[in-house]
Amino acid sequence: MKIPIAKPVNDIKNISNFEKLFISEVMSGLYIGGKNVTDYEKSLEQFLDKKYVASCNSGTDALILSLMALGIKPGDEVILPSFTYFATAESVMHVGAVPVFADIDDNSYCLSVKTVEKLITKKTKCIIPVHLYGYDSDIKNITKLAKKNKIFVLEDVAQAFGSKSKDNKYLGTYGDINAFSNFPSKTLGGIGDGGFIATDNLSLYKKVSLLKNHGQSSNYEHEIMGTNSRLDSLNAFVLNKKLSNFSKIDKTRRKFVKNYLQFFSKLENIYIPEINNNTLLNYFTVVLPDGHRDKIQKLLENEGVQTNIYYKKPLHKQKALIDYGFKSKSLKNTDDLSENILSLPLYSNPSKIELEFINKKLKKVFKDYV
């Protein structure tokens, strides 16, 4: 047996008559826009309790479209973590703005007020807190700080759909505008790339709606320069079906996480941030003792348990950014974590046999840490 890092197909196993329904959609010949897309957007508005949702074709585009809608321009500074996927910084660069990398809090994998506040300047126009792995990036306090300084907040919720803050409010509902990903491995993943923005601001929603469709307000009437970032109809159909079944996805992913927590609670020198009842993880990630990560990863792989490192090289050390003129600097917590983190398999509807297999292999590999 081999256990993959993710298993997106499991999300649709409990959807009644899925294959028949999907084939019917394929045979309809309606692949771009239409009722499936608008139905999905309306379902998301209801789920998140947000006034407006605009779908697009990736989480990266959701970030770029959001920055464009906010009016972020060349020379503006945007504060974000270095400990995140490249798309967060890439999006800032695409609009000509300057990414300012903040270190992460030493008690989590995310930004906090104390790591952000000291970086604010007169040029700071936006903060992008990334809810990495599904953890709350101190969003309540960051939004307060941003409001005080008249700075926009764009939440990067690519890995946190369905996860909530300590206030029992969904992450991705605090910012001025919020960017989500529907990449297949996400908690709400599609059958290809996909994403959406959520906001209560009508002006921002209208701007994104224009931008994602060539700046087109009606057929062949183009008000502004835009791009092609439409979510396709078949993907929207699948995503809406998954969303209607999300309570089961949520419940069974938590079952997987509980299995890990029971195991790792018995081990020493392995760190996991606090996971409360509101936290829905996209990836289950542990911090291992210095110098042990590569050995443990290899041992798990040999035992049939796939792992991954999110992320091995932080953004402030990436060649693509250094070539733009950014000097690599030390971000202590970021640098330390990137050398010691390891993500384990996590998906919905794991079987009893799969969980037993993982426990057996974990006990074998981690026997020296008990």
Find all residues with CB under 8 Å of 192, minimum gap 6, and list them: 184, 232, 235
CB 285 within 8 Å of CB 341: yes
pLDDT computed for residue 95 by the predictor? 96
Task: Report d(CA 54, CA 205) in Å as an integer.
Answer: 7
pLDDT computed for residue 254 by the predictor? 96
Find all residues with CB under 8 Å of 298, minimum gap 6, and list them: none
233-244 vs 18-28: helix crossing angle, rounded to 10: 150
pLDDT computed for residue 370 by the predictor? 52
Find all residues with CB under 8 Å of 172, minimum gap 6, and list them: 48, 131, 155, 157, 160, 161, 178, 180, 198
List per-residue pLDDT tens for the chain, 370 residues long: 999 999 999 988 878 888 888 899 999 888 888 999 999 999 999 999 999 999 999 999 999 999 999 999 999 999 999 999 999 999 999 999 999 999 998 888 999 898 899 999 999 999 999 999 999 999 999 999 999 999 999 999 999 999 999 899 999 999 999 999 999 999 999 999 999 999 999 999 999 999 999 999 888 989 999 999 999 999 999 999 999 999 999 999 999 999 999 999 989 889 999 898 999 999 999 999 999 999 999 999 999 999 999 999 999 999 998 888 776 677 999 999 999 999 999 999 999 999 999 999 999 999 876 5
Domains and CATH numbers, the chain: 10-244 (3.40.640.10), 246-369 (3.90.1150.10)
**367: DSSP letter:** G
CB 330 within 8 Å of CB 103: no
**Amino acid found at 222:** H
Residue 130: strand, helix, or coil: strand
pLDDT computed for residue 274 by the predictor? 86
pLDDT computed for residue 166 by the predictor? 87
CB 184 within 8 Å of CB 190: yes
pTM as predicted: 0.95
Task: Report d(CA 292, CA 302) in Å as an integer.
Answer: 16
Task: Report d(CA 10, CA 357) in Å as an integer.
Answer: 18
Number of helices and strands (H, E) in the chain?
13, 11
Tokens, residue 322: 């250094």
Residue 25: strand, helix, or coil: helix
